[in-house]
Structure 1
């Protein structure tokens, strides 16, 4: 990029988009011309994961660069400690005013406010440091207010806009369009907010976190995206013959298979997720794909503006998701447990400083905690000492650092929240409800604080149906990967101040 040009960053964070629904990674049934262009001009990461699920914890890791074990916003509705830095705070240190469209699902530190703070009545609010220029929170008020201002009559239950016209419920997966037209969807709202912000910058450098709510459920798409894909063209399901066979694998999986309902995914629907037959799952995936194409078309409007203004060539573009979606695999819906479908997510980086990288697929292991240090390095800043991630700019340029990670590491905390209560069901205390995963190209090891571990041979069993942890023939593998998990946690223990020393000559700061 020419020197003296303003350096801009566009961080696109979609919601619940899993990695195998990216055409550059094999999903050739999808129509995503704008994501395809981004992949052609940037680097697509094949082995990228979120470090935790669901939304709040995942976004905390993405935006603080910290593992769950360090930031401890362990579930949606659990507060994020105010002492932690984050991407927005660090950007302010180097002269940027970080703008945010969308949401971060962050619950504030209760020690910094009072118990009557309205933010404690919602699933999550905005992370400190960002300037909201198109917020979704609290409770989607920003979007619904915009919709009413456009003259759309809101039903008494505002979320009924995600029902087909004339219907008061959905029986389940449907090809019918939502009653809201595409130009009034939340995707259209976020896009309008983005263009409004960008057109007002008047040549000043900018950072924009552009969030999209889709393809998050409810799984219903506006026309014409509802009819863009056929169920028969969707990728095959990965699940056992019955959900009970899946449930026998582990007590945590059994809990979710008994407890996940369709209602959160198909607005107004009843019944258990395990009751979805293969045809319904295929229709759900077709609708999910339509929602993806709607986001892609919206992203195309933003790219067109950056093209027209010449800013595309000055802008680092990062496209990613907060987490994945089970989509019926293993009979599950949502983002829970330990399966890859919940944790593997897209990551594409277009770096104007690395034009020779265009179109490359990178297979190194990368994690969501890497995004924050990548952005800060590109803008001339420095990641905080506590950050668990590493800049991806060397990988973008085609250089793999000598000490790059040998495995992926991710975590999940399944303690009680108001909408899910596994503690009594599993006979666990709050602080026993956790797991971590160490995974490489050969093995996936899942360690629980107080439940049996799991081990999968990924070369023979890539979709993780056969647990080998109790097999004496694999005892050495369990030992080795349990040791890896322990060593990983020890080496990433909280370290904000551990490089400082008091000496006879005063304070000394050592290089890490």
Structure 2
């Protein structure tokens, strides 16, 4: 295993001089879906597989697919913080939903706005303002999340929570229940799992797409930059007709089985955190009104939920196709950078788990497709196997716009891959993090006997081995070649002690190399302030 510092970032990679002119190539479409597994992308062949998705298949043919792309943190707030700031969670420290972001951190919208673009937002960013700069009584602290500064908000599911969308439903004659979120509660429970009460033309996916197309159409003669965020396939797993019944369970991948109750010490589900998670995750978090624990759902119920999940994916693909068709008709497709990705994945019944608060690849492995209209024809349709991370998205977009990458960014541009080039010295592993503390309820803390500061894990995901380091619990080690579903923990096996030690050392080296260094390249000198040895101040 090589690459002790975890590979390159913008501080040790020089941007290539392409000699290009970006005149007329001013548009950027960043599509961010929510909770979309990276292994549920279009696939060919017989047997159970994820659904066919024509719009995504087109993007993959015309762009570059990054097969080993990973979110840097879960859940939504930490992940979107990494995606939109280019920073690892250990540096931005937005470790949970509703945790504030330090006011000095810039984001993709602010950086793009500084050039005269007007970055527009459809969807949400799951951000909270810095309380050192914001009154404690600010109403945003009572919401699910707020919108990052720098973005012009067109249609938001935050600030205030879902009110724009629920107002849209009411204006179109939908009779909402007292709690509007009950619009996604199945009338007959999880057994029948009927279609959502909201008709397809009024779904949140249709609403977001309409807002995006309105904006793109209005700015047809001006450059535009659009973050198009979709809430789906995030739960509740209930798709509108006809998407609710498009995918027969026997045509979809079955979940990875878990040994009953972690029957032996080598089984990953015997780990105390995994056992606690299975014992506390409610089924109602994924199907409103469902009783009991998600881990207790029977096989038929799990497969029905997988069918709904696939239906929500297909709905997004149909609406993404609407956007691509519009760009075709207006001729903008050839001057628009298109990036498709997700904030994180979803367990979807694997190991009898749902959600994303775990170490498994299903929770962190996400799609990334980049369609660069400048890329040479022979590079189109390329599939890249190098490890990429969500922190690479911001540097990639800034690079395409010929903008400098802020020093805070831990990622690096992927445009060289899109041009069909081989990038020397690229990282040989992915890294991701999870903080499972809850200072409000202390649920995990009490159950596991840990302080909040010890309720965290960091992962080194290499080509063969995956190492999970818990701050206050035993580690995990998996051979991803022999055991791709992460069922056999090797951390306690003496034959793998040297591998576990090497992985732990590499993970520590990664953290040392990427710890926050916002000011470490600056130095005071007798002549004034310098950066990288270059004088930038006179001292007077």
TM-score normalised according to structure 1 size = 0.96
Give 1:124 deviation, angstroms. Answer: 1.2
The correspondence of residues 458-469 of structure 1 with structure 2, limited to 5 A, is 458-469=480-491
Cross-structure match for 1:64: 85
8 A contact 2:86–2:394 mirrored in 1? yes
For 1:9, the equivalent position in structure 2 comes to: 28
Q: Could you tell me how far 1:503 is from its partner in structure 2?
A: 2.0
User: In 1, distance between residues paired with 2:422 and 2:191?
Assistant: 44
Deviates more, 1:115-124 or 1:10-19: 115-124
Contact 2:208–2:229 under 8 Å retained in 1: yes
CA distance 1:469–1:116, shift in 2 (3 Å): same
Tell me the equivalent position of 1:224. Answer: 242
Match of 1:445 in 2: 467
Q: Is the 8 A contact 1:337 1:412 kept in 2?
A: yes
> 2:33 touches 2:232 (CA, 8 Å); kept in 1?
yes
* Contact persistence 1:325–1:334 (CA under 8 A): yes
Match of 2:224 in 1: 206
- Residue 367 of structure 1 pairs with residue 389 of structure 2: yes
Say whether residues 1:338 and 2:350 are aligned partners.
no
Residue 77 of structure 1 is matched in structure 2 by: 98
Distance (whole Å) between structure 1 residues aligned to residue 304 and residue 237 of structure 2:
10
Structure 1, unmatched stretches of 5+, are none
State the 1:2 CA deviation: 7.6
Show CA shifts across 1:51-70 (max 9, x none): 00000000000001000100
Could you tell me how far 1:308 is from its partner in structure 2?
1.0
Distance 2:442 2:31 in 1: 29
Residues 429 and 496 of structure 1: CA distance in aligned 2, closer, same or farther (over 3 Å): same
Instruction: Please tell me whether the aligned partners of residues 258 and 350 of structure 2 are also in contact (alpha carbons under 8 angstroms).
Output: no
Name the structure 1 match of 2:194. 176
Instruction: State the Cα distance separating 1:172 from its structure 2 match.
Output: 2.3
Among candidates 176, 183, 195, match of residue 161 of structure 1 = 183
Which string of whole-angstrom CA distances, capped at 9 and with x for unpartnered residues, describes residues 93-137 of structure 1? Answer: 222211100001112111121111111112211111111011111
Residue of structure 1 in register with 2:168 after alignment: 146
- 2:538 is aligned to none
Task: Give the CA RMSD over aligned residues.
Answer: 1.8
Residue 137 of structure 2 is matched in structure 1 by 116
Asked if residue 385 in structure 1 is aligned to residue 407 in structure 2, the reply is yes
Per-residue CA distance 1:258-311 (angstroms, 9 max, x = gap)? 000110100121111111122211111111000000011111111111111111
Indicate which of 500, 509, 512 corresponds to 1:478.
500
Secondary structure of 2:132's counterpart equals helix
Offset at residue 400 of structure 1 (A):
2.7
How far has the Cα of 1:421 moved from its partner?
A: 2.4
TM-score, length-scaled by structure 2:
0.91
- How many residue pairs match? The answer is 508
**Contact 1:107 1:123 (C-alpha < 8 Å) held by counterparts:** no
Q: Distance in 2 between matches of 1:247 and 1:157?
A: 39
1-structure distance, mates of 2:422, 2:438: 41
Q: Give 1:88-103 correspondences, 5 Å limit.
A: 88-103=109-124
Question: Tell me, what secondary structure is at the counterpart of 2:35?
Answer: coil
Q: Indicate the SS of the match to 1:111.
A: coil
- The answer for the alignment partner of 1:293 in structure 2 is 314
1:463-502 deviation line (CA, Å, top 9, x unaligned): 1111111111111111100000000000001111111222
Unaligned runs of 5+ in 2: 1-19, 535-540
Name the CA distance, whole Å, in 2 between partners of 1:243 and 1:301. Answer: 46
Q: 1:181 to 1:420 in 2, by over 3 A?
A: farther
1:405 to 419, 422, 427: 427
Q: Write the deviation string for residues 228-272 of structure 1: whole angstroms up to 9, x where unpaired.
A: 010111102212242444675311101100000110100121111
Structure 1 segments of 4+ aligned residues over 3 angstroms from their partners: 24-29, 243-248, 417-420
1:172, 1:262 within 8 Å by CA — same for their partners in 2?
A: no
Cα deviation for residue 504 of structure 1 reads 2.2
Partners of 2:43 and 2:52 within 8 A in 1? no
Q: 1:189-222 CA distances to partner (integer Å, 9 max, x unpaired)? A: 1011101111111411111000000000001110
* Aligned counterparts of 1:511 and 1:249: Cα–Cα separation in 2: 53
| Aligned mates of 2:93, 2:71 — CA distance in 1 | 15
Q: 1:142 to 1:173 in 2, by over 3 A?
A: farther
Q: Does 1:280 align with 2:313?
A: no
Q: Does 1:499 align with 2:521?
A: yes
Partners of 1:369 and 1:111 lie apart in 2 by 26
Q: How many Å separate the matches in 1 of 2:195 and 2:272?
A: 38
> Is the 8 Å Cα contact of residues 205 and 230 (structure 2) preserved in structure 1?
yes
2:257 paired with 1:233? no
